[in-house]
Amino acid sequence: MTAEAEDSTVVSFPLMDSRQIVAFGGGGFSMEAGNPLLDTYVLDLARQRRERPRVCFLPTASGDADHYIVRFYRAFPGSTCESSHISLFRRDRGAADLREHMLSQDLIYVGGGSVMSMLGTWRAHGLDRILAEAWRAGVILCGLSAGSLCWYSQGVTSFHGEVHRVRGLGLLPWSNCVHYGTGQGRREAYHELLQRGMCPGYAAEDGTALHYQGTKLVAAISSRPEAQAWCVGDRGDQVVETAIPTRYLGEQPKAGDASAGDLQAVA
Amino acid sequence: MSGAIVAIGGAEFTMRPENEALHDYVLAQAEPPNEDALRICLLPTASGDPHDQIVSFHGAMERRGCVASAISLFRLGVAPIDFAEHLLAQDVIYVTGGSMVNLLALWREHRIDEIMRTAHERGIVLCGYSAGSMCWFEQGVSRGTGAPTSVTGLGLVSGSHCVHYSQDPPRRDAYRRLVESGEMKPGLALDDHAGVLIRDGEVIETVRSREGSAAYRVEPGDDVVLEIPLESRLLETAAPAVEPGLAEMRELRRSRSGSRRIL
């Protein structure tokens, strides 16, 4: 092909962003035994990439707990996908293999636990950079709790007792709070951190998930009819929580129920 | 005076006599004030805080009258504690094996590396096996990223260190190669069930709890790597502990069958 012909074929309109993240506030097989709605949602997304998608579980935040890995394989059996897991505590793959394996996946599923311990371990193995590369290459990233916080630039963690700020991988330029509204002072601490200059972001209750294309939120979904996701930011004098229309993935509630889809600002 | 460091090439918290002898040796290095019960804390970080290891540790140490505790960096949500306050109140800190790469990364993340230095300066006995043995040295040979490579440790003991020396040939080969090339400093190699006691940076003695376990000084020679065996003292192993229930059952069987055969 000549340079001229090549030039004439250049089409310069923005393509759909292939980078995707689905961040669970809490839910999926780790927290909702018998309720596969969020896991099915991410698996369906992965099916758009491959008929029998490759799903890799990262149990790092739990210290690669055996029982957790077993539960993953039960939730993502070989009949629905090609599942694997990476243990950074019993690592048998070299650096090149680790990267190659992650980049060949359709979905990378990050489990819950200690976000600080997870990020420290990832950095020691260069997995932080590999995950960013996988994201840019279109591998769908998802996870709950620590597996949600990690994708954002900042997160609120209470794993080590008192609530504090943690720096994530920064793929999403927002802050994040998981298990929102379940007590333990997370909501209050998040608001305080926002007032002290934390960037605005998204809060997800247990049972909700935030789906991003690129860095743009394209859907909020839930595995529980009443679960809600929120956009939260400091407006100078007060922290404002805006309810995000959250679509329940199960059977739709009957008409006449509360209008869960309406955008409502709550101070 | 800085505290003793006991480095062990490989062990476990099972009730095998070899392991029991090493536990006793470690505890003998501590001098709790006022003859208080000895306080010992486990850091099972290198293997991701497995529950069974924590349980075995508690069993092994409580049988010896110690006040045992464990810090799990992956499950702090349940019982948050102040790392510095807790660790600096111990007589012994015991670090188990797993991934040396992860161990040091996690300690840095939680600033436990600094606490360990302080603990050492304050005279607390530091010990461990496998990754928990190499972490105290300047360098260790870790298989934490697949192939054996040199990993930087805390450097409380100068030189390098290799564990599972006779039990893990690829690790031994890599260590010899790395010492020969100068990528790793000369150092100490330990088999499973072999240990060294180090005080103020000096090896005080080398011990073993199993007849065949050895310790070596590994350093570059004129044309080959030198592997100099270190003389070690065989620790007396206590009679294997038998579960009371099991002993009772054996007694019962013996009396019934009239046989003197030990089951």
Prediction ipTM score: 0.80
Query: What does the DSSP 8-state code read for residue A10?
Result: -
Model confidence pLDDT, tens digit, residues A214-262: 999 999 999 999 999 999 999 988 999 999 999 999 987 555 444 444 4
Helix, strand, or coil here: A71?
Answer: helix
Model confidence pLDDT, tens digit, residues A114-136: 999 999 999 999 999 999 999 99
Report the sign of the C-alpha dihedral through residues A168, A173, A174, A176, in that order: negative
Q: CA nearest B4: which of B162, B157, B209, B185?
A: B157
Model confidence pLDDT, tens digit, residues A22-72: 999 999 999 999 999 999 999 999 999 999 999 999 999 999 999 999 999
Q: Where are the domains of chain B?
A: 5-257
Question: Does the pLDDT value for residue B30 go beyond 80?
Answer: yes
pLDDT value for B259: 42
Of A86 and A252, the structure prediction assigns the larger pLDDT to A86
Q: What is the pTM of this model?
A: 0.84
B48 interaction partners in chain A (CB closer than 8 Å): 62-65, 89
Joined tokens for residue B132: 């928990």
Residue B101, CA atoms < 13 Å, CB-side half-sphere: 21
pLDDT band at B248 (very low <50, low <70, confident <90, very high): low
Question: In angstroms, rounded to a whole number, what is the distance separating the alpha carbons of residues B164 and B39?
Answer: 28
- Decide: A64 and B102 in contact? Cβ < 8 Å: no
B72 interaction partners in chain A (CB closer than 8 Å): 63
Question: Chain-wide mean pLDDT for chain A?
Answer: 88
The yes-or-no answer on residue A179 being catalytic is yes
pLDDT value for A143: 98
Binary contact (A62, B99; C-beta < 8 A) = no
Question: In angstroms, rounded to a whole number, what is the distance separating the alpha carbons of residues A8 and B121?
Answer: 72
Structural domains present in chain A: 17-252+260-266 (3.40.50.880)
Q: Which of residues 70-109 of B touch A (CB under 8 A)?
A: 72-77, 80, 98-99, 101-102, 104-106, 108-109
B80 interaction partners in chain A (CB closer than 8 Å): 160-162
- Range B5-257: architecture per CATH: 3-Layer(aba) Sandwich (3.40)
- Decide: B203 and B188 in contact? Cβ < 8 Å: yes
- Decide: A206 and A182 in contact? Cβ < 8 Å: yes
Question: Does the pLDDT value for residue B256 go beyond 70?
Answer: no
Q: What is the mean pLDDT of residues B121-150?
A: 95
R_g (Cα) of chain A, nearest Å:
19
Which of A114, A145, A148, A223 is catalytic? The answer is A145
Question: Does the pLDDT value for residue B20 go beyond 60?
Answer: yes
Joined tokens for residue A143: 């996870």
Nearest to B47 among A89, A97, A160 (CB): A89
Model confidence pLDDT, tens digit, residues A140-172: 999 999 999 999 999 998 766 677 899 999 999
Q: How far is CA B256 from CA A66, B163, B248, in A?
A: 43, 48, 12
Q: Which residue of A has its CA nearest to B97?
A: A89
pLDDT value for B163: 97
CB atoms under 10 Å from CB of A35, counted, come to 17
Q: How far is A35 from chain B (nearest CA, A)?
A: 25
